[in-house]
C-alpha cells in the first residue's frame, strides 16, 4: 500500500493561539466547555484524523506570576476528557499526555489501559517528564528534578508500564459458566520489576484491549529526549521551523531506532504545523493578521516566559528591541534553544517573536491557500522530514473546519491522505504493529512463521 | 420537605456475588464490557438512584496466590469508566473510589474536578487508604504502611484536595473578548499547603463545577476510620448485619460530626444492603439458593482470604468445620473483625460463612418480597440506623432490575423515595450544602445573611 500522511489534531478547547479565545468565532469558555470539545472531536473525525491530541501540564499555565494567564488557565484533565469523548465517537483515536515524573507506573498503566478498553483500542500515551518548577511545587518538591534524572526515570517508567500492560495474555479469559473457570491462571503474569526508580510486582488489574498496548508517543528534542524517543516511542511529535532541521531530526531518529533494533517505519515522525488556511493566500494572510492583532502585550511576554521555562523576565525591556540573553535551566532545554533560534534567525524583536510563536509555540506556521499548505506538507512528507503532522489549528473551531474542509480534500486528491479509516484501532490506522504479549512466546513463534 | 431515603448502587460489571458471572442472566464478560456498564447506569438512572458507586483496589483481586480469582480479576479504573458514562446519562451521579495512600493530592483533586466539570456536578470521591499488601507491592513498597500512618496521611490528603478545589472562585472568569481580560487574577488562589505528609503550592488547573466540590464519601469502621469520616465525609458507606450495630454506628458518627462542629444531617449514613427480591418470599429464597449453588469451593475460600486481608490460610481445614483463629494485621482491621463476628454469632461453618458473605461481603443481606425488603429499609431508615442505603445487587443485571422494578415503586408508594430527581447535581439530590469557596469570604458573609 502507498505510504500516506498520518494526522493528529491538537485541539485544546481554549485554542492553541494565545489570543484564540478572543476570536469572534471562538466560544470564550471553550477551555471548560465539554460540549465544545465534543464538537471538535466530531469535526476531527469527519476529517479522518488519526487522533485527537492533548498536551498537559501539572500546574496552572501562568506565563509567570499570576498575571498573563489566558484561556489555558483552567481546563480538563486529558484522560478523563478523552474517556468522556470515546463513546461519543467511533473511529478517531485519542492521545493523552501524562507525566512519568509525577505519576506512578501502576496508575498510568491502569488509566490508559482502562481508556483503551473503553474506546476499544483507540488510545495513545504521550510520555512527558514535566519540566516546570510550578509542577514540582505541586508534588512536595521545592525544585524540579534534574533533566537527566527525569529522563532516566521516564525510560524505566515506560518499561514498567509496558510490562504491566502484558499482565494478561489475550486468550486468558475462559469464562466457562459450566465449570466455573473464569480465566487461565497460567496466562496472568506478575511484572516483578525491580529497577533503579521503581519496584512494581503487578499484575495490572486491567486486561489488554484489541490493539494490545496504547501507542507510545514522545516529543523529545534534547539528546536525552531523542534517546528515549528512539528507544520507546512509536509516534514522535516534534517542532521544526525549517525543512533542513526537520530532516536532520527525522534521519537521526530513524537511525537511532534502527540502532535499537527497531524497524524505522514503526517510528512515525510527526512535526507540528500551525496552518492559517484561506481560499486564497491573501485570505489566509488576513486570518493571520486578524488573530495576531488580538494578542495583548502582557500575554505575549508571558508566553515567551512560559516557553522558556519561566526564566526569561522581560519586564523593563523594549518590546521592539531584541531578546535579552538568559541562562539555560534544567527545564525545557530544547524548547528554550528553539525559541532563541527563531529570534536569531529571523532577527525578530521581542514583539515579532511572540507574534510568531503565539499560535504554534515553536512549531511550523504555514499561511496560505489549501494548495500551498498541501504543497508544504507534501514537500516535508516526501523528503524525509515527516511521516505525518500534528495539526495545531490556531483558533477553534474555524481553523479546524478550514483544514478539514479545504486541506484534507486537497491531500486526498493528491493520494496523500486516506478517504476512509483503514482500521478500527489507533495502531491499525497508523500502520503500527500489534505488540504480541511478551509472555505469549509460543504464540509469537507461530505468528512469525506464518 | 419530608426526609427521604437516599440510594447508591454498587454495580461492578462482573457482579457483586463471587459467582455472579456464572448466573444464566449475567454476561460472562460483564467486568470488561463497556456497553454492559452503560446499560447498568441507565437502569440505575431509571430507578432514580442518587449515584452509581464503584469500589476500587490497586492490585488484582486474587483471593490469594493466583488461584481463586473470579470475574473481578480485571476491569475498568472507576474514574475513566465514569467519565465515559457521564455524557451518556443525565441525572444519576457517580461515586468513584481513589486512594490517598498511592495517589498524590494534586492528581486526585484534578481528575475528580475534571470529572465533576464533565458531568456538570454529578461526582463524589470515595476516600480509601488501600489496605492490601498486594497494592503496596505495586508502589515500590515491600509492605503496606501502618494503619495509623495511612489514616493520618488520608486526613491531610483530603484537606489538600479540598484546598486545591477552591483554587478558582466561582466568578473568576470574566472572558471579555473586547478588553482581553480572561479572568480576575484576585480570584485565583494558591493552596500553599505545607504539612506533615504533603507540600503543595497550587493552584489546581481545573475550576469548580456547579456543585462546588465533589461529594466526599468514606467507609471507615475502625476508630481511625470513624474519626476521619466524622471529620471529612458527607456520605458514609458502612457494613452492618444488625439494626443495633447499625444504630450504634449511626449515633456515634452523628455525635462525632457534631463534636467537629458539623451539622449531623449533612453527614449521610448509608449501610450496604444486598437484596434478593422476589414477587414472593419463596421466589426470593429460590434466587438466593440458586446463586449460592454456583459458588465453587475454591472461590469461597479465596473470598474469605481476601476479605480478611490475605491472612487467613484455610488450606487443609474442613469446610464444614469452624473458622480457625488468625492474628490481626495492619490491613482491613474492621472487615476482619466483622467477618469473624458473623461466623461467631451465627455459629457458621467455613462453608456457611462464605456462602453468606459471597454476595454482600459483610453487608446486610435481605431475602424477601418487595414489601419485606421495603419493610427492612424503612425500619433502619426510621430508627437512626440509616439515611439511605448502598444497594449491592448480588448479580447483574437482573437483581438491579428487580430492585428498580419491584422495590423502588414500593418505597415511592410509602413516600420514602423520590418520584423525580430533586436537582441536577449530586449535592442537590443528596440535600448536601454547597461548599462556598474558602476564599470568597465576603461572598459567604452575604450568603449567610440572606
Instruction: Say yes or no to pLDDT of B356 above 90.
Output: no
Q: Which of B58, B77, B207 sits opposite A114 (nearest CB)?
A: B77
Question: Would you say B209 is a known binding-site residue?
Answer: no
Contact B77 A138 (CB under 8 A): no
Q: Collapse the DSSP code of A364 into the 3-class scheme (helix H, G, I; strand E, B; otherwise coil) and give the result.
A: strand
Residue B113 pLDDT level (bands cut at 50, 70, 90): very high
Task: Note the pLDDT of residue B422.
Answer: 97
Instruction: Say yes or no to pLDDT of A111 above 80.
Output: yes
CB atoms within 10 A of CB A164: 27
Instruction: Summarize pLDDT for A273-288 with one digit per residue, the tens.
Output: 999 999 999 999 999 9
- Within 8 A by CB and 6+ apart from B180, the residues are A19, A22, A294, A296, A299
Q: Which of A71, A118, A168 sits opposite B34 (nearest CB)?
A: A118
Task: Note the pLDDT of residue A2.
Answer: 87
- The chain A residue lying nearest B188, using CA atoms, is A66
Question: Would you say A238 is a known binding-site residue?
Answer: no
- Within 8 A by CB and 6+ apart from B441, the residues are none
Lowest-confidence range among A85-94, A147-156, B267-276, B351-360? Answer: B351-360
Residue A28 pLDDT level (bands cut at 50, 70, 90): very high
B293 contacts in A (CB within 8 Å)?
none
Instruction: Say yes or no to pLDDT of B163 above 90.
Output: yes
Q: Which of B83, B87, B205 sits opposite A59 (nearest CB)?
A: B205
Q: Residue B204 carries which DSSP code?
A: -
Question: Would you say A425 is a known binding-site residue?
Answer: no
Task: Note the pLDDT of residue A217.
Answer: 98
Please give, rounded to a whole number of angstroms, the shortest distance from the CA of A8 to a CA of chain B: 22
What mean pLDDT is predicted for residues A87-108? Answer: 98
What mean pLDDT is predicted for residues A223-246? Answer: 92
Contact B81 A299 (CB under 8 A): no
Instruction: Say yes or no to pLDDT of A330 above 70.
Output: no
Task: Note the pLDDT of residue A71.
Answer: 77
Check CB contact of A104 with chain B, cutoff 8 Å: yes
A114 contacts in B (CB within 8 Å)?
76-77, 80-81
Contact B28 A177 (CB under 8 A): yes
What mean pLDDT is predicted for residues A140-155? Answer: 95
Instruction: Say yes or no to pLDDT of B336 above 80.
Output: no
- Within 8 A by CB and 6+ apart from A340, the residues are A308, A323
A17 contacts in B (CB within 8 Å)?
none
Instruction: Say yes or no to pLDDT of B332 above 80.
Output: no
B106 contacts in A (CB within 8 Å)?
58, 102, 138-139
- The chain B residue lying nearest A294, using CA atoms, is B180
Question: How far is Cα B245 from Cα A26, in angstroms, rounded to an integer?
Answer: 58
What mean pLDDT is predicted for residues B106-111? Answer: 98
Question: How far is Cα B418 from Cα B428, in angstroms, rounded to an integer?
Answer: 13
Contact A107 B102 (CB under 8 A): yes
Instruction: Say yes or no to pLDDT of B354 above 70.
Output: yes
Residue B33 pLDDT level (bands cut at 50, 70, 90): very high
Check CB contact of B79 with chain A, cutoff 8 Å: yes
Instruction: Say yes or no to pLDDT of A318 above 50.
Output: yes
Task: Note the pLDDT of residue B442.
Answer: 56
**Residue B391: phi, psi to the nearest 5?**
-90, 125
- Distances, alpha carbon B317 to alpha carbons B295, B311, B377, B446, in Å: 18, 14, 37, 67
- Within 8 A by CB and 6+ apart from A52, the residues are A8, A9, A11, A40, A41, A44, A82, A85, A92, A93, A94, A95
Which domains are present in chain B?
6-283+363-449 (3.20.20.30), 296-357 (no CATH)
Select from B74, B85, B143, B214 the residue whose CB has the most chain A CBs within 10 Å, as the one to mutate to test that interface: B74
Instruction: Say yes or no to pLDDT of B276 above 90.
Output: yes
Lowest-confidence range among B77-91, B113-127, B348-362, B416-430? Answer: B348-362
Contact A87 B88 (CB under 8 A): yes
pLDDT higher at A364 or A413:
A413
Contact B206 A77 (CB under 8 A): yes
What mean pLDDT is predicted for residues A111-115? Answer: 98
Question: How far is Cα B191 from Cα B378, in angstroms, rounded to an integer?
Answer: 43
Check CB contact of A57 with chain B, cutoff 8 Å: yes
Task: Note the pLDDT of residue A395.
Answer: 95
Residue A450 pLDDT level (bands cut at 50, 70, 90): very low
Check CB contact of A110 with chain B, cutoff 8 Å: yes
Instruction: Say yes or no to pLDDT of A296 above 80.
Output: yes
What mean pLDDT is predicted for residues A109-127? Answer: 98
Check CB contact of B137 with chain A, cutoff 8 Å: yes
Lowest-confidence range among A392-401, A402-411, B290-299, B356-365? Answer: B356-365
Instruction: Say yes or no to pLDDT of A220 above 80.
Output: no
Looking from the CA of B257 toward its CB, the CA atoms found within 13 Å total 21
Task: Note the pLDDT of residue B129.
Answer: 94
Q: Which of B59, B60, B114 sits opposite A81 (nearest CB)?
A: B114
Exposure string for A422-439, b = 16+ CB within 10 A, e = fewer: eebbbbbbbbbeebbbeb
Task: Note the pLDDT of residue B333.
Answer: 64
Check CB contact of B316 with chain A, cutoff 8 Å: no
DSSP notation for A238-257 = E--SSHHHHHHHHHHHHHHH
How far is C-alpha B154 from the geometric centre of its chain's CA atoms? 16
What mean pLDDT is predicted for residues B361-371? Answer: 89
Mean pLDDT of chain B: 91
pLDDT higher at B431 or A358:
B431
A204 contacts in B (CB within 8 Å)?
60
What mean pLDDT is predicted for residues A281-301? Answer: 92
Instruction: Say yes or no to pLDDT of A310 above 90.
Output: no
Instruction: Say yes or no to pLDDT of A68 above 50.
Output: no
Question: Would you say A26 is a known binding-site residue?
Answer: no
Check CB contact of B42 with chain A, cutoff 8 Å: no
Please give, rounded to a whole number of angstroms, the shortest distance from the CA of B116 to a CA of chain A: 10
Task: Note the pLDDT of residue B64.
Answer: 44
* Global confidence as pTM: 0.94
Question: Would you say B222 is a known binding-site residue?
Answer: yes
Angle at CA of residue B68, ends A162 and B337, nearest 5°: 105
What mean pLDDT is predicted for residues B261-273? Answer: 96
Mean pLDDT of chain A: 91
Task: Note the pLDDT of residue B447.
Answer: 43
Task: Note the pLDDT of residue A241.
Answer: 85
Contact B36, B12 (CB under 8 A): no
Residue A445 pLDDT level (bands cut at 50, 70, 90): very low
What mean pLDDT is predicted for residues A208-220? Answer: 95
Question: How far is Cα B306 from Cα B62, in angstroms, rounded to an integer?
Answer: 7
Question: How far is Cα A383 from Cα A242, in angstroms, rounded to an integer?
Answer: 12
What mean pLDDT is predicted for residues B263-290? Answer: 96
B118 contacts in A (CB within 8 Å)?
34, 76, 80-81, 84
Instruction: Say yes or no to pLDDT of B269 above 90.
Output: yes
Instruction: Summarize pLDDT for B389-414 with one digit per residue, the tens.
Output: 999 999 999 999 999 999 999 999 99
Instruction: Say yes or no to pLDDT of B449 above 90.
Output: no
Question: How far is Cα B27 from Cα B396, in angstroms, rounded to an integer?
Answer: 8
Instruction: Say yes or no to pLDDT of A346 above 70.
Output: yes
- Within 8 A by CB and 6+ apart from A445, the residues are none
Check CB contact of A201 with chain B, cutoff 8 Å: yes
Please give, rounded to a whole number of angstroms, the shortest distance from the CA of A325 to a CA of chain B: 29
Please give, rounded to a whole number of angstroms, the shortest distance from the CA of A426 to a CA of chain B: 18
Contact A118 B84 (CB under 8 A): yes
Check CB contact of B118 with chain A, cutoff 8 Å: yes
Instruction: Say yes or no to pLDDT of B306 above 80.
Output: no
Instruction: Say yes or no to pLDDT of A449 above 80.
Output: no
Question: How far is Cα A375 from Cα A362, in angstroms, rounded to an integer?
Answer: 21
Task: Note the pLDDT of residue B445.
Answer: 46
Please give, rounded to a whole number of angstroms, the shortest distance from the CA of A427 to a CA of chain B: 21
Q: What percent of chain B stands above pLDDT 90?
A: 76
Instruction: Summarize pLDDT for B49-64 with one digit per residue, the tens.
Output: 999 999 999 999 765 4
Specify the pairing of strand B173-176 against strand B181-183. antiparallel
B38 contacts in A (CB within 8 Å)?
87
Instruction: Say yes or no to pLDDT of B379 above 80.
Output: yes
Lowest-confidence range among A84-93, A214-223, B89-98? Answer: A214-223
pLDDT higher at B330 or A178:
A178
Amino acid at each position: 500500500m502507498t505510504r500516506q500522511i498520518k494526522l493528529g489534531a491538537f485541539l485544546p478547547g481554549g485554542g492553541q493561539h494565545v489570543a484564540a479565545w478572543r476570536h469572534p468565532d471562538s466560544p470564550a469558555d471553550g477551555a471548560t466547555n465539554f460540549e465544545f470539545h465534543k464538537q471538535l472531536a466530531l469535526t476531527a473525525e469527519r476529517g479522518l484524523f488519526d487522533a485527537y491530541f492533548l498536551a498537559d501540564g501539572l500546574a496552572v499555565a501562568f506565563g509567570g506570576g499570576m498575571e498573563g494567564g489566558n484561556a489555558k488557565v483552567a481546563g480538563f484533565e486529558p484522560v478523563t476528557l478523552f474517556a468522556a469523548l470515546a463513546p461519543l465517537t467511533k473511529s478517531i483515536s485519542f492521545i493523552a499526555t501524562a507525566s512519568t515524573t509525577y505519576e506512578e507506573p501502576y496508575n498510568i498503566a491502569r488509566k490508559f489501559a482502562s481508556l483503551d478498553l473503553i474506546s476499544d483500542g483507540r488510545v495513545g500515551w504521550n510520555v512527558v517528564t514535566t519540566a516546570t518548577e510550578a509542577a514540582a511545587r505541586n508534588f512536595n518538591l521545592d525544585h524540579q528534578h534534574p533533566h537527566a534524572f527525569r529522563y532516566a526515570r521516564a525510560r524505566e517508567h515506560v518499561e514498567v508500564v509496558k510490562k504491566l500492560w502484558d499482565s494478561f495474555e489475550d486468550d486468558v479469559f475462559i469464562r466457562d459458566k459450566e465449570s466455573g473457570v473464569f480465566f487461565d491462571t497460567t496466562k496472568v503474569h506478575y511484572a516483578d520489576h525491580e529497577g533503579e526508580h521503581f519496584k512494581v510486582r503487578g499484575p495490572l488489574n486491567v486486561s489488554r484491549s484489541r490493539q494490545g498496548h496504547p501507542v507510545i508517543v514522545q516529543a523529545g528534542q534534547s539528546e536525552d529526549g531523542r534517546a528515549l524517543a528512539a528507544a520507546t516511542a512509536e509516534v514522535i511529535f516534534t517542532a521544526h521551523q525549517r525543512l533542513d532541521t526537520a530532516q536532520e531530526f527525522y534521519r537521526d531518529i530513524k537511525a537511532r531506532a534502527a540502532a535499537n533494533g527497531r524497524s524505522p517505519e514503526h517510528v512515525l515522525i510527526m512535526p507540528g504545523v500551525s496552518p492559517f488556511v484561506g481560499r486564497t493566500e491573501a485570505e489566509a494572510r488576513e486570518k493571520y493578521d486578524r488573530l495576531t492583532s488580538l494578542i495583548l502585550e502582557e500575554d505575549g511576554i508571558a508566553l515567551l516566559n512560559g516557553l522558556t521555562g519561566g526564566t526569561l523576565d522581560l519586564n523593563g525591556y523594549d518590546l521592539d528591541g531584541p531578546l535579552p540573553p538568559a541562562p539555560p535551566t534544567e527545564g525545557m532545554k530544547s524548547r528554550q534553544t528553539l525559541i532563541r533560534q527563531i529570534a536569531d534567525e529571523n532577527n525578530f524583536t521581542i514583539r515579532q517573536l511572540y507574534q510568531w510563536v503565539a499560535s504554534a509555540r515553536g512549531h511550523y506556521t504555514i499561511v496560505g491557500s489549501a494548495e500551498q499548505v498541501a504543497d508544504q506538507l507534501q514537500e516535508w512528507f516526501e523528503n524525509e522530514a515527516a511521516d505525518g503532522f500534528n495539526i495545531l489549528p490556531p483558533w477553534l473551531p474555524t481553523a479546524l473546519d478550514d483544514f478539514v474542509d479545504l486541506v484534507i480534500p486537497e491531500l486526498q486528491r493528491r493520494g496523500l491522505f486516506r478517504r476512509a479509516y483503514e482500521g478500527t484501532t489507533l495502531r491499525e490506522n497508523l500502520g503500527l504493529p500489534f505488540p504480541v504479549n511478551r509472555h505469549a512466546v509460543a504464540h509469537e513463534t507461530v505468528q512469525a512463521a506464518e
